[in-house]
A and B are shown apart, each in its own frame.
Chain A
Amino acid sequence: MTPERWLRIERLFDAALRVAPAERERWLRRSCDGDDGLFREVSRLLACDDWAEREGFLPPPEASDRPGDLTSTWPPPGSGRRSADEEGGASPAGPTGGFTPMAAIRRGTGEEPSRSDEHQASARQRLLAIIGLYIGLALVMLAWKYLVARDPEPTQAIPYAVLIATCLAAAVLIRGPAPIPPWRLRLLELGLIGMVTAVFAFSQYQAMLHFSLRGDPLRAQFAMNHRVLIAAILILSYGLYAPVGWRRLALVVAPIAVAPFATLFALYLRHPAPMAWLGEMDQDHGTSPLALISFDAMLLLILAAGSASGAYLISRLRRQVREARQVGQYRLRRKLGAGGMGEVYLAEHQFLKRPCALKLIKPGVESSEKALARFEREVRLTATLSHPNTVEIYDYGRTEDGVYYYVMEYLPGMNLAELVERYGVLPPERVVHLLRQICLALREAHGVGLVHRDIKPSNIFVSQRGDVDDVAKLLDFGLVRPSTPAGSPRLSEEGRLLGTPLYMSPEQATGRPDLDARSDLYSLGAVAYHLLTGKPPFGEGGTIAILVALAHDPVVPPSRLRVEIPEDLERVVLKCLEKEPDQRFRDAESLESALGQCRCAGGWGPAQAARWWRDSGHPVGAKAASDAPLDPSEAPSGKRPPAGSAE
C-alpha cells in the first residue's frame, strides 16, 4: 500500500466514524465510488475499531503520577519539566483551587458517579460479611463439639476446618487489590453457600449416624434439630446480606431448606438398621416422625419466606437510596465535574425533564458559614443577571439534610481552555466573535456594579444553544463581589489567593483594593491572548513569578508568536493588557465596539460556526453530523445569528 492510498483510507475512516453506525456502510460504499478494495480496507478498519472499542484493546497506559502545574503544555519552553493535566482530565483550575466548579460543565467526558464501582464495593462487603458469619458459625460449632458436647468423632472436625480454610482464602481474594468481575463474585458467593450447605449436611449425616449407631436416638434427634436451626441461620443471613431478586433468592434458599431433610432421607435409605428408631418413634414415644419433621419443615418454610421478603425489602431500600441521588426536585444523572467547593452534576427536573447542571455544596466538604455565605451570594448575584451570554440560573435551594445546591442551564459544548487545548489556537475572527458576546454579558454585570474577578478561558463556555452554534457563556460568578470598595480584594475569607493568577489583572495581582470593571477587561484581554496564541500573556515560572511578571513585565505582542494575527485586533488586545487601568478601554461596551471595528469582525458567522462544530469531531457536533444527511461534508444552513452578537 502506498502512503497516498493510506491517506485516502485515513480520510474515509475518519469521516465514516462520524456517520451513524447504521448508515455507515451505505455511506462508505457511495464514497468509495466503486473502488471495492478501498471499501473493503476501510470496512475492515472500522470493524477493527469497533472490536478494539469493545474489547478495550490498547487502553491508555496508566497516567503516571506527576505533579500538576499551572499550564498543560509540554515540553516546556525553558524551565525544568512541566506536566500536563491528566488527559481529558479536569479543567485547568488554578493551583490555588479557585471556586470554579462550573468550569467543569461539559458534555460527555465527565465521569459517571460510578454506580457500578459502588455496587462492586458493596457486593464485596456483603460477601465478606457472609464469609465472616460462616467462619464464626464453623468456629462455634467446633468449639461446641469439643468443649461442651465433648464426644465427637475426631474426623468430624475435618469438614469445618476445610470450610474455614476456604472461607479465609476467599476473603483474601476479595480483599485483594485486583478488581473481580461481578459474575465471578456471584460465582464465589454461590460456591461458598453451596459449600457451607454441603459441610453442614455432611456433618449432620455423620453426627446422626454416629449417635444412631451408639443407640442414642435422642441425640440424633437433637442433631437434626440443630441442623434445622443452622439452616435457618443460613437462610436468614443470605436474605439479609444478599439482597437479590426473589427468584435468585428462592433458588439459593430452597436447597438450603431442603438439605436437612434430604440428608435425613439419604441417611435413612443407606442405613435403615441404625435409623430404625425413626420408624419406631410412633409406638415408643407417641410422636410420629411426620409430626417432628413437618414442624421443622414448616419452620424453615416460614423463614425462607421471611428471608425472601426481607431481601426484597432491602433491595428496595437500596434502590431508594440510589434514587435519593435526587436533590430537591432534581434527579442527578451523572457527575460532570468537581471544583473547589462543589460538585456539578447533570441533573433533570422531576417534571420538566429538562437537562440542567446542578451544583452541590456538601456540608461535609466545606461547612464553614463563610463558605456557605459565599455560595449563596454567588447564586443570588448570578441570578440577578439576565443577559443571554451569562449562564442562566434556574433554581436554588437547600435540601433537608443541609445540602446547598443551585441549578443552572446545562451547556453542551466546552470551555475555551478545552477548546484551545483540543483544537489549537482560534482564528482571529472567531476570537472577536466570542469575545464580543462576553463583553455584552460583562456590560450588564458591570452596569449593576458587579465585577467578575475570575474571567479565564475555563470560565467561558462555547456552546450550542437552540439552533445557534458558538454561543459564548460567561460562567462562575463565584468570586463576584460588589464593586463598591469594601473588603479585601484578593484574599478570600479563607485567606487564600483565589483563582488562577494567569489571567489576573496587575492590580488584582498586587492586591490593590480598588478593583473595578477594568480589571475584568484586562482578564478578558488575557483570555483573548490565550485564544490567539495558545498561552496566557505571562505563564512562566510558579505563581509568584507570574504575579511579579504581571505587575512588571511588558507583554510580548501576540503577533510575535503568531504572525497572522491582524494588527488592529492586536492593538485592542494589548490595550486591554495595559498595566494601568486608565489606559485600558473605559468599559466593556467600548471594548465591544472596538472589537466590532476590527477588520476581521464579520469573518466568523453562523455558517462558519456551524461548519466548525460539525467538523470538530466533538460529541455535540458529531451528533449533529450523524443526524445530518449521509454526506458529512454537506453543510446545513439557515441558522440564526447567535444571541448577543450584533451581526
Chain B
Amino acid sequence: MEAEKGMTMDPEIGRSLRKLMVKFALFHGLILAVAVALAVLSAGYFKQRLGSQLSAASRDAILSGDSRRAMVDLASSVKADFYGVAWRPSGASEGFSVPPGAGACHRLACARSRVGVYFDDAGSIPAGEMVFYYSRWAAAAWGVLGWFVIFALSVPVAVFERRRLVRDYNLLLDLKINESYATLAAQVAHDIRSPLAALGAAAKGLSLQEEQRTLIDGAIGRMNGIADDLLRRYRAPGVAEGPKIETHGLAGLIEQVIAEKRLQHKDKPGVKIEFAAAAGGLRAAVDAKELQRLVSNLVNNSVEALSGPGTVAVRLGAEDGKVLIEIKDDGKGIPPELLAKLGQKGETHGKAGGTGLGLYHARTAAESWGGGLKIESAPGKGTAVVISLPAAARPAAGLRAVLLDDDALVHMNWKMAAKAAGADLKLFKTPQELAAAAGTLPRDIPLYIDSELGGGLKGEDIALELHGKGFTDISMATGHGPEKFAHLPWLKVTGKEPPWA
C-alpha cells in the first residue's frame, strides 16, 4: 500500500481502485438484494407449507362447525410464525379472523398464505380457505444476516486484492519504464553506429601517428561494441539477454582499455598508467565487454585516487591456476574502517558523486565468473584491487581462420586475438582479394565474412559464392541475428568477436 504510506498514488491506479470499489459495492448490493429476495421467497414458501399443514390439522374442527374456536386455538399456538389467522367460508365475503382485522395490513408490509379447504378428499368441492398472515419483511433480516456474513468474509479478500492490484500496477509501471529505457537505449545504439562509422572513415583519412590511430580505432571499436551490446540486449524488449561469457585472451582486452585510459587521462600531469602482462596468453571465461567496463572503472577509480602525480599500474599475471588482474595506485589509500565495506552496494570512498556501484559491479561480475575481488589499501600508500579469475586453458595450437571484413579495426582486433591465441589468421578486406587467394585455401578452413562489405556488397552473397566453390565452414561475423540468414541453412552466424577471444 505504497499510496497509504504517503506516496502519491498514480491517477491511473487511483481510477482502477475506485472502479474496483464501485464494482465491489455493486456486487454486494446485488448479493444483498438476492439474499433478501431469497429469504422473503423461501419464507413465503415455508409459510405456505406450514399453513397447509395447520389447515389439515384444523380442517375437521372447522368443517364440524367449530371454526371460531379452531381459529382462536390455532392463532395462539402459531403466533411465533403468523400474526393472524382467518377462516373464510367459500362464497362468503368476510370471514372470521384472529385477531380481528388481521387482513387489513397493507400487502406491501404483510403477506398471506392462503390454503384452500375442501369438503371432499379429491379437493374438488371448496369449503373455504384459511388465510395465515405474516410480516412480509421479517424474514428479510435473515437475508441481511446472510449477506453480512458474506460481506465479512469478502472484505479481507477485497483488501488483499486491492494490495495485489497496486503491487501489480507498480510492477507494470516499472516494466513500462524499463521498456522505454530499453527502447531508448536500442535507438541510441542503433543511431550512433552511423556517426561512428563516419568517424572511423574520417579517421582513416587523417595523417596520424600509428599509436594515435590505433587508439582512435580502439575507441571507435569499443563504442561499436557497446552499441552492439546494447542492441543485443534490447533487440527484443522484455527478453533480457544473459551475459555472453566466453573464453577470451585477457591481455588483448585489457591492453585496449589501457590505451583508451591513457588517452583519456593524458592531460593529468604526472599520471602514468602502466600495463604489464605475463607471457603465455592468459585466458579466462568472461563477458569481454563487462571485463573491459570493469577494468575501465577500476583504472578511473585509481586515477581519481591520485591527488597529484602518480602511477596506476595494471598487471595481468597468474598464480595457482588463477588469472590475477591487479589495478594498483600509489594514491591516498582507504581508511581501514571503510575498506571492509567497499565493494558492497552503495559504498564509495573519496569520489565526488560516486554511487559505489563500480566496485560493487566489479565484485559481482568477478564472482559471477567464478572468481573474486580483493582490495588492499593503506592510507597514504595507495590501493590495490586484485581480481582473480579461474584460468582457462589455452586453445590448441595450429588454429586457422580466414576473415573477410572491410573494417580495419575489426582486422586489428582479430589480429591481436589470433596472436594471443597463436592462431593462423588470414585477413582480407575485399572479396576480390579473397577470391584471388581462394585457390590456395583448404576447403574446410573456417571462413568468417562480414555481412556488410561496403559498396553494397552483401556478405551472404559472397558466402553463397564461396559455398559454391566447395568451402564447407562459412560463418557470418555480424551483429545481425541468425533469422536474417535462415534461408541459407549451411551458413553459421557468429558475432564480431574473434573465435579465439
Do A and B bind?
no
Chain A residues with a Cβ under 8 A of chain B: none
Chain B residues with a Cβ under 8 A of chain A: none
